[in-house]
Amino acid sequence: DAGVIQSPRHEVTEMGQEVTLRCKLISGHNSLFWYRQTMMRGLELLIYFNNNVPIDDSGMPEDRFSAKMPNASFSTLKIQPSEPRDSAVYFCASSSARGPSILGTEAFFGQGTRLTVV
């Protein structure tokens, strides 16, 4: 397996534009996490899905952010409209859950998308 694949690797966009980040999970994994990394806050969990269902989106900063899992292997994170303060590295991670808890499983991360909003 090629691991978690994120695209694009880098994105530079103008303020107000829509940005879509993409993530392909590892085959067989059924938990999906979107994280954002900034200098100030480190790695923050934005949202996570289990079996395609959003379980907790309390980390999503505001309504401008939305995430979907149209199928079991793919997810998108959309920012509309984007703002300069959204500039960060966005990571997607997946893991295999045993039952209702993901305890004991380690999340595998993609390489991240570096977003710059100017």
The correct pick among 19, 32, 35, 115 for binding another protein (CB under 8 A) is 35
Looking at the Cβ atoms of 16 and 28, the one nearer to another protein is 28
User: What are the structure tokens assigned to 99, written together?
Assistant: 């039952």
Asked whether the beta carbons of 64 and 81 are under 8 A apart, the reply is: yes
Q: Which residues contact residue 50 at a Cβ distance below 8 angstroms, ignoring those fewer than 6 apart?
A: 30, 31, 32, 97, 102
Closest residue by Cα to residue 113 from 43, 31, 22, 32 = 22
Amino acid at 88: A
Shortest Cβ 95–another protein spacing (Å): 8
The correct pick among 12, 15, 43, 118 for binding another protein (CB under 8 A) is 43
Residues in contact with another protein, shown as a per-residue x/- string from 61 to 80 under the rule CB under 8 A:
--------------------
What residues make contact with another protein under the rule CB under 8 A?
4, 33, 35, 41-45, 48, 55-56, 91, 93, 100-104, 106-112
